[in-house]
Each structure stands twice: as structure tokens, then as C-alpha cells.
A and B are shown apart, each in its own frame.
Chain A
Amino acid sequence: MKNALILALTACVGLAACGESSQVPSYKQGNYQGKSDTRPWEGGQFAGNKQAWDNALRHRNQGQTEYNRVK
């Protein structure tokens, strides 16, 4: 009986650290402090024409599937 009690107490002390909570941090997004960026369609060859830029990108996107070429 006494041995069992000692064993139980030892187990309690020995396993005390096993109850630690998770130490994974929860990230918080910071606020960007730098200078502003222009959108891809602003200035340059598209001169603010978002529709034209969208169309150009869509065309390029579709160029990645070769099934379109063999249809």
C-alpha cells in the first residue's frame, strides 16, 4: 500500500511537466509601413486600362493548357 502511494506520488511529480500548454505563437499581421505601390495596369503599356490587362492575363493563363491546342 505504502509502495503504491510512493509510486503514485512519484508519477505525479515526474509527469507534472507533461501538462504544458502549446507554445506555438499566434501571429498578428503588422501594418505595412513602406511606400505605396502602383497596380500592374496603372501606367506603362496599359495606362490604367484594367480590362485590357485582364484580357492579356487571361490569354496568357489559357496558353498554359495544351489541350486547347490539340482540340
Chain B
Amino acid sequence: MARMKFLCDTERCIECNGCVTACKNENETPWGVNRRRVVTMNDGVPGERSVSVACMHCSDAPCMAVCPTDCFYKTEEGLVLHNKDACIGCGYCFFACPFGAPQFPEGPAAFGVRGKMDKCTFCAGGPEENGSKAEFEKYGRNRLAEGKLPLCAEMCSTKALLAGDAPVVSDIFRERVLRRNKGAEAWGWTTAYGKPEQPAPAAKEGAK
């Protein structure tokens, strides 16, 4: 397994918000927290485009770099996850993120009432026991440990949102572009994956 990535095919996204609903339902996120949302550009104008946006799990994630408590870590699959126990809710990651991924449910944290940051985990949970109740309550469902992909992508009715192993996702997208002969723009990919991968300290103690 190489590296997990998201890709939204804007030629296919029909702004149904199925991904948003699937994410909210699967992870039971509170009111005001939308780990994924659909953004429409030139809404109502012929040729409008919609993009499903969430944490892109960047190669060189700016949130990891600005976090004052270093609560982020990167898994072997390239996922940017965080430890909520260490999060102080300062909001730096929100300002650093080019995708507006970090969300703040109101609640107690060391920094006012913003609450501890919540974001897309690629349905991979966090640093609690895989599939445990504690993990679900803090980070949502760990589908990856069940051998499944994020529900937003699996639920997508037009398969506009692709998730998974980068070479496979790229191949699927490439085949589509070749067949339809247009729409080769992979939105957000250069921003998220254009920089070289940063070797982050592994969360697993004594990891190989």
C-alpha cells in the first residue's frame, strides 16, 4: 500500500451532498462540525463546478508544522491524524490549512471555548485502540481497520469522489479523462501533494 489520497472529479460532482451526509452519519460529528463539505464555484452560471472538500492529508501538511503542541502525526499510509488529548484548540491549524479542514466544536479546551479540533481522519480513527468506543467517540469510525475506504467516497453516487491508494486513484481518473477527453484538472492535488513527502515521526513506538 503506497499512499492514501482523495481526488474529487469536478466533471462528475453533482452537488448532492451525499458525501457530507455519509461522513456526518458515519462519524456522528456534532452540530457545526462538517468534516467534509461541497463547495460550488460559479453557482447558477452555466459551467458551474462543485468540489467535495475535506482534509486532503497533505504530503507536507502545514497544520503539522504550525501546531504548538505537536499533536499531529502521520501514519505509514500518509494519513495526517491528530491526538485530541494534546490539542488545546488554539486554531493555528485552521489558519494554516489551505482547505479549511479543521473544525471546532464548541466545548472546553485550554484555549477558550473553541473546543478540541476535529477533522477528517480518512475514516482511520486516531491514536486509540482500533475500533474501540473511545476511538469512535473522539475521532469517529475506523473503517480503514475494517479494510474499507472512507464512506464519503464509497457512498458517492457518481463516483466523483475517489479515495484510496494514490496510483489506483490516479489510474481511475486518467482512464476517465482519456475517455471523455476533458476535465483533467485534479482539484487541490498540487496544493496538497505537490511538495515532497515530509518524513514525520511514526506514531507507532518502535515502528519499522
Contact = CB atoms under 8 A, between A and B. Distances in A.
B169 interface: yes
B169 A61 contact: yes
Given A44-B130, A64-B164, A35 B85 contact: yes
Interface residues of B, number: 49
Given A33-B71, A54-B1, A41 B169 contact: no
Contacts, number: 118
B172 A60 contact: no
A44 B203 contact: no
B75 A39 contact: yes
Interface in B80-105: 81, 83, 85-86
A25 B97 CA distance: 15
Contacts of A62: 168
Contacts of B179: 67
Given A40-B130, A54-B1, A62-B168, A29 B83 contact: no
Interface of A: 27-46, 52-54, 56-58, 60-67
Interface of B: 1, 62, 64-67, 69-73, 75-77, 81, 83, 85-86, 124, 126-127, 129-131, 142, 144-149, 153-154, 159, 162-165, 168-169, 172, 175, 179, 198, 200-201, 203-205
